[in-house]
Structure 1
Amino acid sequence: MTSCFRHVALIGKYQASGARAQAGSLDAVMCEIGAFLESQGCEVVVEQSTGDEPETSRYRALTVEQIGEQCDLGLVVGGDGTMLGIGRQLARHGLPLIGINRGRLGFVTDIPLDNYQATLIPMLAGEYEEDHRSLMHAQVVREDKVVFDAFAMNDVVVNRGATSGMVELRVSVGRHFVANQRADGLIIASPTGSTAYALSAGGPLLHPAIPGWVLVPIAPHTLSNRPILLPDADEITIELVAGRDASANFDMQSLASLVHGDRIVVRRSDYRVRFLHPKGWSYFDTLRKKLHWNEGGS
């Protein structure tokens, strides 16, 4: 088969010594995958930080911006965290992404490293399922000035300080006041993020096709304060009313501290992330594998 993707960016992450020990050094893995892509007729480039590694230095290194402008496909080698980071940056370019997982199966990096060639050959020829994921655009507003601006794929989280008590948060959806909530924090999660922190805090799973967000309190003071599913067309505003050392987190991008009166404003981004999966891929297959559903069944 001939690849329908001519210019492919190979993107990886050089952390986690345990992963290196398990699957060999990442530069060697990346070099092997690069050679495979070339055998399929692809011109291979690497993300600039990846290109600093000795094995991959023979490939042309591009910035993330250049990858978005010049490439047809991004092949991400790592875990879901690596994919979330690059997905946020490339979403505005509409570049499709394929994830090869070096460890345990990921929710969005779903191709095992030990079987990547057989899986990629038909995908490169155009046989794949396409999966679009919404992005959240979040801002921290302080005295009518934006002091932090970020995109998130998973969630926006407001947390109490490590040594402090509960925070009090004023929550509004669109133009409507919802409630003042006292809790350890609050999570606004996308369907992608519904399987992350929000799930561990008691939130529901959201299918990726649902145009919504879930609002999940963290250890609420009032037990009737339950998770709620909201349309992603509405803007959500969280104002810090009381509490010390509170922080805001956007897919691990953190604003170290909030002050009383700060507003975290979350709206749907104009951009979406494009994931490509093997033909026949199903979100429910991934849930069964990751959440160990039906184990021990017939």
Structure 2
Amino acid sequence: MTSKFRHVALVGKYQSSPSAGAAPDHSRQVLQGIADFLHAQGCEVVLEAETAAHTGLHHSFQSMEVDGLGQHCDLGIVVGGDGTMLGIARQLAKYGTPLIGVNQGRLGFVTDIALDDYQHTLLPMLQGEYEQESRPLMHARVVRDGAMVFEALAMNDVVVNRGGTSGMVELRVEVDGRFVSNQRADGLIVATPTGSTAYTLSVGGPLMHPSIPAWLMAPIAPHTLSNRPIVLSDQTEVMMEVVSGRDISANFDMQSLATLLHGDRIYVRRSEHNVCFLHPVGWNYFATLRKKLGWNEGGY
């Protein structure tokens, strides 16, 4: 059988290169092998431009910038860890390009196909046998003196926190324009269900099933121990205003950064775009948690 997908974008992890402009031989060989496999299934393989440049595979396959991939390709395969997936997913979301993750990292909550078994797993998926899942994105903007000075999408979380050597930050928090509290802490996280397995997990936040239409708001080392994580509808808009503190920043999936001043407001709402993931038939969220978090080790 030939592939259901005719034009497949291939994005790889190359940031761990030992020297500028050169990818590790293993990473290059992995991407070459996956590209050759896709080609053998009748797919036109198009490499993301940075992946192609850093691996030297631009001589063997066509390459495009991310916007070109979104316009041209009907599937994206991302090889790496969750960080690699987060970066490309935010950029391709507006095109609705479905994504498959092949795990070349460590945890891999959203890159769920084992690298050593990718051919066996991908073959039926390319032929149309898969489970489809939609994950929401956040849209965040930083407003200073009434003007927007920064905006970004986030798939995991928006984090406002202090610098490494500074004291606490104080944030005024509103939800849909209603005052919630002034929070004094090391910072505050607003996370999606996808992000509930990221930073919020380390500060005591709950895990949220990705089908739940909700945000999770969790303080980081709060001054008042009664400040606890809270789950909100994802139809709300969360506002965090910087009241006091030094060296304060806003992070969006820990990959983009805005330096904040007193009086700055960070607004977080649901984006109009979702990320579409494809999983092998039989995939389920709880199996992923068991595997990635080491549940039932030594049990049955």
TM-score, L = length of structure 2? 0.95
The runs of 5 or more residues in structure 1 that have no matched partner are: none
Partner of 2:101: 99
Amino acid corresponding to residue 215 of structure 1 in structure 2 = M
* Partner of residue 59 from structure 1, selected from 61, 65, 71: 61
Conserved in 2, the CA contact under 8 Å of 1:28 and 1:55? no
Q: Is the 8 A contact 1:247 1:254 kept in 2?
A: no
- The question of 1:37 aligning with 2:31 is answered no
Mapping for residues 1-298 of structure 1, pairs under 5 Å: 1-16=1-16, 24-52=25-53, 53-298=55-300
What is the letter of the counterpart of residue 101 of structure 2?
G
Contact 2:82–2:105 (Cα < 8 Å) also in 1? no
Which SS does the other structure have where 1:2 is aligned? coil
Does the 8 A contact of 2:150 with 2:258 survive in 1?
Answer: no
The residue type paired with residue 263 of structure 1 is R
- Hey, what's the Cα distance between the residues in 2 that align with 1:255 and 1:99? 25
Shift in Å, 1:56: 4.4
Give 1:30's aligned amino acid. L
Q: What displacement does 1:24 show? A: 4.6
Q: Note the C-alpha offset of 1:128.
A: 0.4
Distance 1:32 1:290 in 2: 26
Look up the equivalent residue of 1:31 and give its one-letter code: Q
CA RMSD of aligned residues (A): 1.3
Shift of 1:28: 1.7
Deviation digits for residues 197-252 of structure 1 (CA, Å, limit 9, x no counterpart): 00001100010000000000000011110000000100000000111111110012
The 1-side partners of 2:286 and 2:105 are apart by 20
Give the deviation of 1:25 after TM superposition: 2.5
User: 1:77–1:99: 8 Å Cα contact kept in structure 2?
Assistant: yes
CA deviation profile, 1:16-35 (whole Å, cap 9, x unmatched): 259xxxx9521221111111
- For the residue of structure 2 that corresponds to 1:45, the secondary structure is strand
Give the secondary structure class of the aligned counterpart of 1:28.
helix
Q: How many residues align?
A: 294
Distance 2:254 2:88 in 1: 13
Q: Normalising to structure 1: TM-score of the pair?
A: 0.96
Where 1:267 maps in the other structure, the secondary structure is strand
Distance 2:58 2:256 in 1: 31
Gaps spanning 5+ residues in structure 2: where? Answer: 19-23
State the shift of 1:51 in Å: 1.8
